[in-house]
Amino acid sequence: MRNTKTLKAGFLALASAGTVCAMAFAQDWGGAAQAPVPGLTRAPVVKTNTQFAVATVAYGLDHPWGLRFLPDGRMIVTERVGRLRLVTADGKLSPPVAGVPKVLADSGQAGLFDVALDSQFAQNHTLYLAYFERRSSGGQGLSVARARLEDGASPHLEDVKVIFRAEPDNGPAINLGGRLLVAKDGTLFVTVGDRFTQRDKAQDLSADNGKIVRINTDGSIPRDNPFVTRKGARGEIWSLGHRNPQGLTFSEDGTLWNVEHGAKGGDEINLIKPGKNYGWPVITYGVDYSGKKIGTGTSKPGMEQPVYYWDPSIAPSGMAFYSGDLFPQWKGNLFVGALKFKRVRRLVMSGDKVVGEETLLPNLDERIRDIRQGPDGAIYILTDNEKGRILKLVPKR
């Protein structure tokens, strides 16, 4: 049973976030795979009291995937077809940045994925790209390259070097991961999907499938990684038992969080800790697309429970904790994009618990691929289609 302090904190968080809809739950829950588990899903619906407007910053991007802000306020955006662009604050797109590694984008979910900036980008102009490539071995796989951005009238990349290749390099171009995150200590986190038909490898420490990995920015393996001394294990592995991690972020206290796709139901938010096993495909709150059971159930000793899950699936994508001043009511809230229902989920947090959920932009009707807080405190959103947009949420005047 929860203690009264936890319950009180949860309801206080809900009250500060907006209106609590008594006995109501999040939308889009028809066709759930199984009965909900209280406290882990279907948080009470909240309705924000914050009035906001949605502005289009830029448009005409071909399936944009990842977005970051440069020190001068411009944005750098990947397009899944293999292009990298700079975008000014008023929405002007640069020509495609030259020198991007050759990307395999003609099958499945493959292409150019996330972009991340080095912790010393202002001095060294170094960035990182995650992408799907054809290997010299004949295989195909997720890779990460480091490069230096040369700006100007003809922006291009120099000193391009591949620093990570996920192994093994076989399987369909589905459930690929591809999200990047630079830590304060300068290391780089990379999400790797299970490659769909190879889901059992998510439990195999000799394979990168279904893992979150951590590397140094030269591609070497940090000495303090949890499996670096384990015989037969890949030293870059940070956590295991993931299906298709599509979002990765730090909360204000430096805690690492991810969001990942389940199968039919069971999309998860997880609090990521080194060496921990998040269960896929042994435990899950979803079922197979055929309706058959996956694994042994929803829990097992030695495997982590999600902080929160969705059933039915929303196909989550990018995620961000809000810490800006433009929306004081939203401070500490977690924002998650949805590809399936084409909306944004705002989650009210009390510690590491989700105590309220709101659906934002219900009439947008565009897949949401990434969410970022801008340096101006606004919330920026990438929509995923052939004429993708950068949207900006700002207070309504």
The dihedral built from the CA positions of residue 90, 91, 93 and 99, taken in this order, carries a sign that is positive
CATH number where 252 lies = 2.120.10.30
Q: Which residues pair with 370 in a beta bridge?
A: 382
Q: Are 372 and 76 in contact (CB under 8 A)?
A: no
Q: Are 254 and 321 in contact (CB under 8 A)?
A: no
Q: Please give the pLDDT value at position 107.
A: 73
- How far is Cα 12 from Cα 308, in angstroms, rounded to an integer? 19
pLDDT digits (tens, 9 = 90+) for 42-54: 999 999 999 999 9
The whole-model pTM stands at: 0.93
The domain tally of the chain equals: 1
> What DSSP state is assigned to residue 305?
P
Look at the block and give the residue holding tokens 């290749």: 165
pLDDT at 11 over 80: no
- How far is Cα 335 from Cα 21, in angstroms, rounded to an integer? 19
pLDDT at 265 over 90: yes
pLDDT digits (tens, 9 = 90+) for 71-101: 999 999 999 999 999 999 999 999 999 999 9
Average pLDDT over residues 282-308: 97
CA–chain centroid gap for 321, Å, is 12
pLDDT at 13 over 70: no
Tally of CB atoms within 10 A around 53: 10
Q: Write out the residue range of the structural domain in which residue 135 sits.
A: 4-395
